A and B are shown apart, each in its own frame.
Chain A
Amino acid sequence: MAPPPSKGSGGSTRTYEIQRYSGGRWMLDSVADDKEMAVAVAKSLTSGSRAASSVRVMAVQQFDDGQFSEVTVYRSTPIDDHNAEAVVRKLKVEDEVKAFREQRDFERKHKDDPPPAPKPRKKGRFADFILALQLAFGIGLTITAIQMLRIVMH
């Protein structure tokens, strides 16, 4: 449950009018004395089978001398939704452009640099083992060939 509403200062009362756009004008839908509740009511108007396309909450300050002032504290219209989506899209495009520019600048900066030297191959134990095996096989083959030659010579 929301806390009690704050009263306006200087001998005034504040209410929140929930309004929906219908028939080309704003219609009063309901009244609340608490901003949080008023916004919740306004949001509930935009859902359901009979949802209003546009709603707003006006804070109305009524002074003891009969004067009053009002200010919009919440608004939801298709244009607002469209603008919000457009802002998100714009930010996304800006991020993509920034990333592209950074990549392009990096490539331009390092365009004249000599190509990086190939990294020396790391020889592991397996490579050493294969090399030793090849040497042993080569030596064995050579010895065998010499023995065969000696037999033939005799």
Chain B
Amino acid sequence: MSNPAPEKRLVLRMLDLWRKARKDAPLPHASDITVADVGADAGHVYLIDVLDPAGPRYLYVGSALQTPGSPGSGTLVADGSDETVLTLTSRHWREIVERHVPVTRGGIGRHAGRSVLYRSIMMPLADASGRITTLMGAVNWRALEEQHGTAAE
């Protein structure tokens, strides 16, 4: 019997990973999913510690998300630049903490100086008591063709 075709969409791959880690619990334990589990998608993944006294802070930022001007590991989410998909997507961290479910978002934004169409997901991870401690996010994007206005003839 052949294996099913791998899911093409990053968001659904991440969601599948999160569901498998959750098993029958409402939320997966923070130690149940690591960056190593993400495999080839690790470059597009980030982790946020939502319990840091100074505010949500990046624990890990994948290599594909590290561009000049983008926040790195250890940076506060609030300090990120709007010109990166990392900041665009992670600024909604509060919604995931409040709703206790994964949230996927997409849209048009700026990344590395270009207009991009992005799609992201953030998923809650909890400690033994069920309290959300970490958010795992993932985002991919593609550059949009720059629209050059031309005078109507």
In the complex, whether B16 has a CB less than 8 A from a CB of chain A is yes
In the complex, whether B148 has a CB less than 8 A from a CB of chain A is no
Selected from A28, A29, A37, A48, the residue in CB contact (under 8 A) with B119 is A37
If A5-B107, A34-B104, A34-B106 touch, whether A28 touches B99 (CB-CB below 8 Å) is yes
In the complex, whether A11 has a CB less than 8 A from a CB of chain B is no
Q: How many residues of A contact B (CB 8 A)?
A: 18
In the complex, whether B84 has a CB less than 8 A from a CB of chain A is no
Within 8 A of B (CB), among A27-58: 28-34, 37, 40-41, 44, 48, 50
Instruction: State whether B12 touches A30 (Cβ < 8 A).
Output: no
Note all chain B residues with C-beta closer than 8 A to A41: 11-12, 15, 104
CB closest chain-A residue, reference B142 = A1
Instruction: State whether B16 touches A37 (Cβ < 8 A).
Output: no
Note all chain B residues with C-beta closer than 8 A to A31: 95, 99, 101-104
Q: State the 5 A-B residue pairs at the shortest beta-carbon distance, nearest first.
A: A4-B107, A30-B102, A31-B103, A32-B104, A30-B101
A residues with CB within 8 A of B: 1-5, 28-34, 37, 40-41, 44, 48, 50
